[in-house]
């Protein structure tokens, strides 16, 4: 059975294993509600993965902790797109690219939403350069290779929110960005995976980023330079994208680097990526590496 919105979570009971299911309240912002301590009921599905969700059961559970929609074993390598909003390219003072700019994060970068802390590495703290990037994430649902833009939407399972956490000093000290964006936990993902059938036009999403309650980023996803279909088609050229592949699609203007003075993340800072409609709020609380 097709799903509308899926959450992977630990339920409120002893010795519970991870489950997947649909929130009983179809409109609830699951991330925000759980963060505020509210009881969020979920109808469990028979499957154990969003990639094979099964069907809804009669089992109703309450969320104790939200997990990333996919496990690290399922995502493999995370594909990432840089400079995909013209306003972000402008604030970074670089030319708008002619083709998508791709880099990768390892599976070890995948992170759950709050309350699991997002750790700022020691060297990034030393250089005071930890940055946030609110992003729309695509999840691929079936093997995808050499697909056209017209075919690409048929390979997308759904969408969720991501934060492309970056170490700016490391980023600008070398020509490649994988090192500076690939640290453990540098890709929080969630809280909800919304079906591509529910959002046939991902350009209808809006995305915001809030640091400690202050709006830092706000954009329509339709402002992307390369849309989701273009990105999937481009990344599939000569390359198989297995089911579970996550593609994070770039960030709009408002990153800490672009502020005057720069507004980098500190120990105990909170950053919320809000992706509307349907996905809701991805909460991350940052913690200095011990």
What value does the mean pLDDT of the chain take? 95
Which residue matches tokens 């329509």?
220
pLDDT tens digits along 158-206: 999 999 999 997 787 887 888 889 899 999 999 999 999 999 999 999 9
pLDDT tens digits along 241-278: 999 999 999 999 999 999 999 999 999 999 999 999 99
Distance separating the N- and C-terminal Cα atoms of the chain:
45
The pLDDT of residue 1 is 53
The pLDDT of residue 143 is 98
Q: Look at 10-14, 111-115, 153-157, 186-190 and tell me which has the smallest mean pLDDT.
A: 10-14
pLDDT tens digits along 89-145: 888 888 889 999 999 999 999 999 999 999 999 999 889 999 999 999 999 999 999
d(CA 107, CA 183): 10
User: Would you call the peptide bond into 237 cis, given omega within 30 degrees of 0 as the criterion?
Assistant: no
Q: Which domains does the chain have, with CATH numbers?
A: 5-67 (no CATH), 72-288 (3.90.850.10)
| Tokens representing residue 105 in the block | 């994060």
DSSP 181: H
Using the CB atoms, write b or e for 104-127: b if 16+ within 10 Å: ebbbebbbbbbebbbbbbeebbee
Are 36 and 115 a contacting pair, CB within 8 Å?
Answer: no
pLDDT tens digits along 41-83: 999 999 999 999 999 999 999 999 999 999 999 999 999 999 9
């Amino acid at each position: 059975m097709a799903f509308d919105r899926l959450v992977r979570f630990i339920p409120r009971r002893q010795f519970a294993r991870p489950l997947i299911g649909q929130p009983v309240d179809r409109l609830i912002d699951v991330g925000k509600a759980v963060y505020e301590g509210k009881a969020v009921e979920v109808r469990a599905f028979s499957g154990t993965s969003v990639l094979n969700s099964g069907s809804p059961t009669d089992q109703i559970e309450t969320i104790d902790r939200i997990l990333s929609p996919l496990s690290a074993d399922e995502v493999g390598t995370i594909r990432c797109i840089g400079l995909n909003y013209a306003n972000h390219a402008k604030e970074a003072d670089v030319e708008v690219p002619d083709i998508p700019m791709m880099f990768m994060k390892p599976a070890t970068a995948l992170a759950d939403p709050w309350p699991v802390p997002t750790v700022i590495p020691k060297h990034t703290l030393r250089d005071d350069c930890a940055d946030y990037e609110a992003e729309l994430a695509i999840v691929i649902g079936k093997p995808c290779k050499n697909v056209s833009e017209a075919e690409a939407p048929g390979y997308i399972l759904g969408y969720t929110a991501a934060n492309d956490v970056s170490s700016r000093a490391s980023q600008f000290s070398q020509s490649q960005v994988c090192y500076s964006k690939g640290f453990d936990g540098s890709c929080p993902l969630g809280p909800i995976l919304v079906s591509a059938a529910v959002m046939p036009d991902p350009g209808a999403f809006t995305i915001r980023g809030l640091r400690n309650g202050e709006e830092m980023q706000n954009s329509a996803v339709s402002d992307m330079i390369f849309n989701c279909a273009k990105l999937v088609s481009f990344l599939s050229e000569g390359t198989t994208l297995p089911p579970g592949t996550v593609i994070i699609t770039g960030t709009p203007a408002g990153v800490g680097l672009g502020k005057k003075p720069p507004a980098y993340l500190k120990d105990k800072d909170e950053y919320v990526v809000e992706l509307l409609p349907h996905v809701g709020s991805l909460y991350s609380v940052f913690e200095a590496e011990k």
